[in-house]
Chains A and B, each alone.
Chain A
Amino acid sequence: MGISKIVKDTLLIAWIKSYPDLRRNPLMLLLLAMISAIPLFFMLMFSSGGNVVVHGMIGAMVSSVAFAGVMSGIQDISWDRYVKIREMIVAMPVHPASYALGIALAPLLISIPSLVLFGAITAYLGFLSAEILLWVVAALLTVWATMSTMGFMISTYLFKASPMLLNNLSNLLGIGFIFIPPVYFSEAQLGSLSWISIIVPTSNVAGLIRSYSGLLPLSTEILIMRWVILIIMTLTFIVLISLKSKWRED
């Protein structure tokens, strides 16, 4: 199968899995933006001073893409299995990579409006410039990849679990990875425990973006180490998926 067909199918599946939902349920966009912004409201209520809003905005950006990643990897895959749409696609001339990438890309497309909104506010506050935009986008795409592959890995290894269980698991992971670690606030507040933020992909990326924005001073070595950890984590998930996943059942 040619690369162009794989790419075309990826985009088509992403479109199929996002456009009809967006068109018929545009309030979903508001809901997603609000979910990402809720922790920020709490931070504004209980914290003051510093750059609480900017830290929160960066957290909301990371949250938007990370939540999209987990959701696609677990909920969308298990739902497709449940309604048997996946069976129809397996029997089509569609490459498994197109399906996986398309599924992962769809919620990312849905999260773009809220991402743009939070990014615009951050830029307005003076912490997101054109010079660092590429780094920020790269960091967000990487955490999306990490969280998507983590989700795919879970749905691959728990392929016999019910969609309801996987839905709950996906929501728990969303809360666990997005709301608990220092995603919405600076990891500097953790003091000697700040290393935790490096091993959790969402807070790792939030720290990277804060560093590029000038909110968190990190040495070049630490920056590189954070990128390496993130990439190794993603590759590990990909390897684990490839060991277990089967396009055709046996």
Chain B
Amino acid sequence: MRAVESAGLSKVYHSRHDEEPVEALKGVSIDVEKGELFTLLGPNGAGKTTFLRIISTQLLPSGGDAQVLGHSVVNAPEEVRKHIAVVPQDVATYNNFTPWEYAYYFARLRGMNSADAKEKAEEALKAVDLSDLRNRVCQTLSGGEKRRAIIASVLSSDADVLMLDEPTSGLDAVARRGVWSALRELIGRGKTILLTTHMMEEAEMISDRLAIVNRGVVVACGRPDEIKALVKEKFRVVINGDFKPLSSYGETARLGDRNIVYLKSQDEAIDLLKDSLKMNLRAEASPVTLEDVFVRLVGGLNNNGNQ
């Protein structure tokens, strides 16, 4: 049995006014194995949050169904809710709550007794590095600390499947790493995590597998290295400046006064580096990143969402 299985999930938002209905999901089928960290990666408005809200039983789909640990999100939401914990996007805190109260009371709401909830709350606060601030009210915490307090409430839940909608947005690099570390630790304990992000680095760094979603369809799905293998160019050279004809080396993307040239082989990259140096231009070669692939896959879509 998989942790999450969605089959042909679709969602259409109807406006009250005369506006056109918005098709947020167009038959999305995704499988998430137990014990893996699966990321939905996509630009804003891609349908990631809609997918997560359907899977977490907050929203009914317009078509299709999904199972969480074998329970239908459409027909058996109460069963699904016993196994999941959710951090919504842009969730805010109660100002008079402390991180400890978040972690403790949310564990109690899941049916834990007081002793277990206290233990889980302590563990969760430690995981997000908030033990020292456990009794500070949220209104005195920074934005990142508030977010970690919310994440602690999910970590303390002991749920089998955790669903986090852009959990690290607004966090600084150190805090973000702290959350990643906590999430990976949970994977080590056999939990399943489904998260959404538009941050490539996050997706590449912590995901076991990921799906790139754009305009309500899955554009690509697999391990980060598998996704990167979807494009034929394996290397990129960033050149500070321009010389003609750069496009003869490979596909070129322009970033103001810089150019990124995508190349199929290491030899081609070395040739371009040499030519750039001859022109007295600073150049740097590296393997393509997930972001390069993402931009190419998402940017290559037409309005119908087809490649």
User: Which residues of A are at the interface with B, using a C-beta cutoff of 8 A?
Assistant: 1, 5, 9, 12-13, 16, 20-21, 23-25, 82-85, 87-94, 248-250
Q: How far is the CA of A93 from the CA of B59 in the complex (A)?
A: 16
Q: Which residues of B contact A84 (CB under 8 A)?
A: 88-92
Given contacts A12-B105, A91-B85, A93-B78, contact A249 B59 (CB under 8 A): yes
What's the nearest-Cβ distance from chain B to residue A85, in Å? 7
Q: How far is the CA of A88 from the CA of B94 in the complex (A)?
A: 13
Q: How far is the CA of A249 from the CA of B93 in the complex (A)?
A: 22
For A83, give its contact among B86, B94, B96, B105 (CB under 8 Å). Answer: B94
Measured CB to CB, the nearest residue on chain B to A20 is B96
Q: Which residues of A contact B86 (CB under 8 A)?
A: 87-88, 91
Given contacts A12-B109, A248-B59, A250-B60, contact A88 B87 (CB under 8 A): yes
For the complex, is B241 an interface residue (Cβ under 8 Å from A)? no
For B58, give its contact among A5, A16, A23, A87 (CB under 8 Å). Answer: A87
What bracket does the count of chain B residues touching chain A fall in? 20 to 34
Task: State which residues 49-103 of B face A: CB under 8 Å.
Answer: 53, 56-60, 77-78, 81-82, 84-94, 96-98, 101
Measured CB to CB, the nearest residue on chain A to B84 is A91
Q: How far is the CA of A93 from the CA of B153 in the complex (A)?
A: 15
Q: Which residues of B contact A92 (CB under 8 A)?
A: 81, 85, 106, 109-110
Given contacts A88-B87, A250-B59, contact A83 B92 (CB under 8 A): yes
Jot down 15 A-B pairs with beta carbons below 8 A, ordered by A. A13-B109, A24-B137, A83-B91, A83-B94, A84-B90, A84-B92, A85-B94, A87-B53, A87-B91, A91-B81, A93-B82, A94-B81, A248-B59, A248-B77, A249-B59
For the complex, is B300 an interface residue (Cβ under 8 Å from A)? no
Chain A interface, >50% SS class: helix
Q: Which residues of A contact B97 (CB under 8 A)?
A: 20
Given contacts A12-B108, A84-B91, A93-B82, contact A248 B60 (CB under 8 A): yes
A20-B109 in contact (CB<8A): no
What's the nearest-Cβ distance from chain B to residue A77, in Å? 14
B110-A93 in contact (CB<8A): yes
Given contacts A9-B109, A249-B58, contact A93 B90 (CB under 8 A): no
For the complex, is B111 an interface residue (Cβ under 8 Å from A)? yes
A24-B96 in contact (CB<8A): yes
A91-B58 in contact (CB<8A): yes
B93-A83 in contact (CB<8A): yes
B91-A94 in contact (CB<8A): no
12 further interface pairs, Cβ-Cβ under 8 Å (given A88-B91, A91-B86): A83-B93, A85-B92, A85-B94, A88-B106, A91-B58, A91-B85, A91-B163, A92-B110, A93-B110, A93-B111, A94-B109, A248-B57
Measured CB to CB, the nearest residue on chain A to B150 is A88
A85-B110 in contact (CB<8A): no
What's the nearest-Cβ distance from chain B to residue A27, in Å? 13
B60-A249 in contact (CB<8A): yes
Q: Which residues of B contact A249 (CB under 8 A)?
A: 53, 58-60
Q: Which residues of A contact B89 (CB under 8 A)?
A: 84
Q: Which residues of B contact A9 (CB under 8 A)?
A: 109
What's the nearest-Cβ distance from chain B to residue A107, in Å? 14
Q: Which residues of A contact B53 (CB under 8 A)?
A: 87, 249
Measured CB to CB, the nearest residue on chain B to A28 is B96
Q: Which residues of A contact B59 (CB under 8 A)?
A: 248-250
A16-B105 in contact (CB<8A): yes
Q: Which residues of B contact A248 (CB under 8 A)?
A: 57-60, 77
B94-A20 in contact (CB<8A): yes
Residue among A9, A91, A93, A249 facing the most chain B CB atoms (10 A cut-off)? A91
Residue among B57, B58, B81, B84 facing the most chain A CB atoms (10 A cut-off)? B58
B96-A25 in contact (CB<8A): yes
Q: Which residues of B contact A25 (CB under 8 A)?
A: 96
A90-B92 in contact (CB<8A): no
What's the nearest-Cβ distance from chain A to residue B306, in Å? 28
The 5 closest A-B pairs by CB, nearest first: A83-B92, A91-B86, A84-B91, A250-B60, A87-B88
Residue among B57, B77, B84, B94 facing the most chain A CB atoms (10 A cut-off)? B94
B108-A88 in contact (CB<8A): no
Q: Which residues of A contact B106 (CB under 8 A)?
A: 88, 92
Q: How far is the CA of A14 from the CA of B57 in the complex (A)?
A: 24
For A5, give its contact among B77, B88, B105, B111 (CB under 8 Å). Answer: B111
Measured CB to CB, the nearest residue on chain A to B60 is A250
Q: How far is the CA of A82 from the CA of B59 in the complex (A)?
A: 17
What's the nearest-Cβ distance from chain A to residue B83, in Å? 9
Q: Which residues of B contact A88 (CB under 8 A)?
A: 86-88, 91, 106, 153
Measured CB to CB, the nearest residue on chain A to B157 is A92
What's the nearest-Cβ distance from chain B to residue A90, in Å? 5
B78-A1 in contact (CB<8A): yes
Q: How far is the CA of A27 from the CA of B75 in the complex (A)?
A: 47
Q: How far is the CA of A72 from the CA of B184 in the complex (A)?
A: 39
B58-A90 in contact (CB<8A): yes
